[in-house]
Amino acid sequence: MKHGIFRVTTFDIVAPFILNVRFDDGTQQRIDFRPVLAGELYGPLVDLELFEKVSIDRETQTLVWPNGADFDPATLHDWPKLIERMTAAAGKWEVVPA
């Protein structure tokens, strides 16, 4: 599978846990993150207040959260093609006890 290089340029919060994400190639994706909010890294994002603190990292040009969660911008760009695999993977992510 070809893995392109993309950069997130802007985003809007359109609903709880749903972002409209725009890319440097002029495309955009409306992404519902709820199916993948599991595990040690993404699980804390079920807290809507934390989720809405999303920003764009200037260096990596992707979405990041204060807890260190992020997604490869190519994954965000190709979200519709990858959501089934991402959801299946999220079902296996477990919170590791501290």
Asked if residue 95 is part of any domain, the answer here is no
Q: List, run by run, the mean pLDDT of 10-residue segments along the chain (98 residues).
A: 81 98 97 95 96 96 97 95 92 68
User: Structure pTM?
Assistant: 0.88
pLDDT, position 96: 52
φ/ψ of 28, rounded to 5, equals -150, 160
Q: In Å, how far from its chain's centre is CA 71?
A: 5
- Is 2 within the bounds of a domain? no
- What separation in angstroms does the CA of 39 have from each of 9, 24, 27, 69? 27, 30, 29, 11
Cβ neighbors of 36 (< 8 A, separation 6 or more) are 42, 86, 87, 89, 90
Residue ranges making up the domain that contains 26: 8-90
**pLDDT number for residue 12:** 98
Number of structural domains found in the chain? 1
Looking at the domain assignment, is residue 62 inside a domain?
Answer: yes
Q: Tell me whether residue 96 is in a domain.
A: no
**Assigned domain for 27 exists:** yes
66: in domain: yes
